[in-house]
């Protein structure tokens, strides 16, 4: 049975690692951040259940202020919101790749290792990884427009 | 076997929240672009908009499903990360119990806020 001898340190042991290994580490880091975020998010956004005043004061606390029928977001908060969206998009699209490969899709049949010993279990799903990362990148780019150019 | 089932549920919840999350991100964080496609509203954080969508049965169902799957996926994933710390078996049990309590509290609070606002 596989033993994780290095523990969490093993995530960062990347010497000689392929690109998917970097994505794995990034997936875990973004996952950890997102669990912390969702905890705070559920508690803060729950203020809407109490009153409009509570809702506004919580949003004001995180840098969103209301003025007539619109609201303004603190630029620093807005920037971190963008980073958060990127982390979510990365985790979501990389997660779909991990689910598909975990279930055996896009891996192909096992084959005899022959020179030059290309790892087909990594090479075969690579187009899927590139495709999903391109979609993520597309959302990130239109996010620049949404977050920074039209506000 | 039990762990295998929990892992499969982790994958399944990840697949479900992929779609719910995309919908949530586009609705809440890309409002101007999405308004161009006739989807969503320009200012989704306005209290009037928050209460309006919270009264919709579709939103209530989507939020509740989102809560169930996102909390399970997140906290089961966090448990898997934390037990890699090799703190020992007792620490593992403590981690599972603590994370379960936090996740259940967040679920109850989330459902309460989802349904209370809609009246």
A·B CB contacts under 8 A: 96
Length of chain B: 119
Among the listed residues B118, B117, B114, the one whose alpha carbon sits nearest the alpha carbon of residue B70:
B114
Name the domain count of chain A: 1
Per-residue pLDDT of chain A (151 residues; tens, 9 = 90+): 456 667 777 777 777 778 888 998 999 999 999 999 999 999 999 998 888 899 999 999 998 888 777 778 889 999 999 999 999 999 999 999 999 999 988 887 777 877 877 777 777 888 999 999 999 999 999 999 888 887 6
Give the CATH fold of the B2-118 domain. Answer: 3 helical TM bundles of succinate and fumarate reductases (1.20.1300)
Q: Is B66 on the interface with A (CB under 8 A)?
A: no
Residue A104 lies in a domain: yes
Q: Is A69 helix (H, G, I), strand (E, B) or coil?
A: coil
Q: State chain A's mean pLDDT as an integer.
A: 87
Among the listed residues A71, A16, A102, A81, the one whose alpha carbon sits nearest the alpha carbon of residue B29:
A81
| DSSP sequence for A5-35 | SSGGGGGG--TT--HHHHHHHHHHHHHHHHH
Q: Determine if residue B40 is left, alpha or beta; phi over 0 gives left, psi from -120 to 50 gives alpha, anything else beta.
A: left
Q: Which of B26, B34, B44, B45 to substitute to test the interface with A, most A CBs within 10 Å? A: B45
ipTM of the complex, rounded to two decimals: 0.91
Residue A57 lies in a domain: no
Residue A53 lies in a domain: no
Burial annotation B78-92 (CB, 10 A radius, 16+ → b, else e): bbebbbeeeeeeeee
pLDDT in tens, A32-60: 999 999 999 999 999 988 888 999 999 99
Residues in A touching B71 (Cβ below 8 Å): 38
Q: Is A48 on the interface with B (CB under 8 A)?
A: yes
Given a cut of 90, is residue B61 above it in pLDDT? yes
Residue A11 lies in a domain: no
Q: How deeply is B106 buried, as exposed, middle or buried, from its count of CB atoms within 10 A (0-12, 13-18, 19+)?
A: buried
Separation of alpha carbons A68 and A117, rounded Å? 65
Residue A119 lies in a domain: yes
Among the listed residues A88, A101, A150, the one whose alpha carbon sits nearest the alpha carbon of residue A129:
A101
Residues in A touching B116 (Cβ below 8 Å): 49
Q: Which of B8, B10, B14 to substitute to test the interface with A, most A CBs within 10 Å? A: B14
- Give the tokens for residue B43: 């200012």
Backbone angles phi, psi at A45, to 5 degrees: -70, -15
Which structural domain range is residue A121 located in? 23-36+74-149
Percent of chain A at pLDDT > 90 equals 48
Residue A4 lies in a domain: no
């Amino acid at each position: 049975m596989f033993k994780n001898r290095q523990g969490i340190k093993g995530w960062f042991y990347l010497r000689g690692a392929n690109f998917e290994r970097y994505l794995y580490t990034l997936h875990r880091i973004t996952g950890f951040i997102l669990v912390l975020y969702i905890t705070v998010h559920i508690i803060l956004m729950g203020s809407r259940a109490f009153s409009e005043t509570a809702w506004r004061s919580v949003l004001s606390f995180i840098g969103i202020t209301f003025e007539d029928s619109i609201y303004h977001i603190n630029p620093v908060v807005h920037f971190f919101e963008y980073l958060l969206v990127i982390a979510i998009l990365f985790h979501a699209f990389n997660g779909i790749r991990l689910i598909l490969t975990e279930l055996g899709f896009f891996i192909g049949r096992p084959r005899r290792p022959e020179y030059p010993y290309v790892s087909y279990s990594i090479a075969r799903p690579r187009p899927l990884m590139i495709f999903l990362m391109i979609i993520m990148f597309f959302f990130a780019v239109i996010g620049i427009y949404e977050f920074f150019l039209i506000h | 076997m039990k762990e295998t089932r929990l892992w499969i549920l982790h994958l399944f919840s990840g697949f479900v929240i992929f779609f719910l999350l995309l919908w949530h991100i586009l609705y809440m964080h890309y409002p101007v672009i999405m308004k161009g496609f006739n989807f969503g509203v320009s200012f989704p954080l306005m209290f009037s908009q928050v209460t309006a969508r919270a009264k919709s049965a579709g939103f209530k169902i989507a939020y509740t499903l989102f809560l169930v799957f996102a909390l399970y996926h997140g906290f089961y994933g966090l448990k898997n990360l934390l037990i890699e710390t090799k703190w020992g078996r007792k620490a593992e049990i403590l981690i599972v119990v603590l994370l379960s309590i936090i996740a259940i509290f967040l679920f109850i609070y989330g459902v309460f806020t989802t349904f209370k606002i809609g009246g």
